[in-house]
Amino acid sequence: MSSWVPVCDYGLLLPERGVCALVDGRQVAVFRVFDGSVRAIGNLDPFSGAQVLSRGIVGSREDEPTVASPLHKQVFSLVTGVCLDQPEVVVPTYATRVCGGRVEVRRDCSGL
């Protein structure tokens, strides 16, 4: 079994927007950020308990891509998963790659 899961065509990801993908039964928020790269974090907002981070507002802080929860507006790094408003709170991050025009997410998360 491959350690990479195809989730969508790269061209279908709108810049600075997110989509939700199911990876081994887990909801993963996948984003195409301002520089064209793809980032993925867990979709669960730890503050509300809702699976909504893929619908968040994509931005940046000091050139680091971020997403703000659409519910309570806490901002998470799309690189580390750390909540920039409360650094003790972290969401899982997932490695991504574009292979043959398809976005793929690695099955195992990088952190919690």
Asked if 14 and 32 touch (Cβ cutoff 8 Å), the reply is yes
Asked if 33 and 58 touch (Cβ cutoff 8 Å), the reply is yes
State the total domains in the chain.
1
Tens-digit pLDDT profile for residues 64-82: 999 999 999 999 999 999 9
CATH number for the domain spanning 38: value is 2.102.10.10
Under the banding of pLDDT at 50, 70 and 90, the label for residue 41 is very high
CA 29/CA 94 separation, integer angstroms: 9
Its pTM surpasses 0.95? no
Q: From start to end of 14-86, where are the E strands? A: 17-23, 26-32, 38-42, 57-61, 64-68, 75-77
Please give the residue range of the domain that contains residue 19.
4-109
CA 7/CA 102 separation, integer angstroms: 7
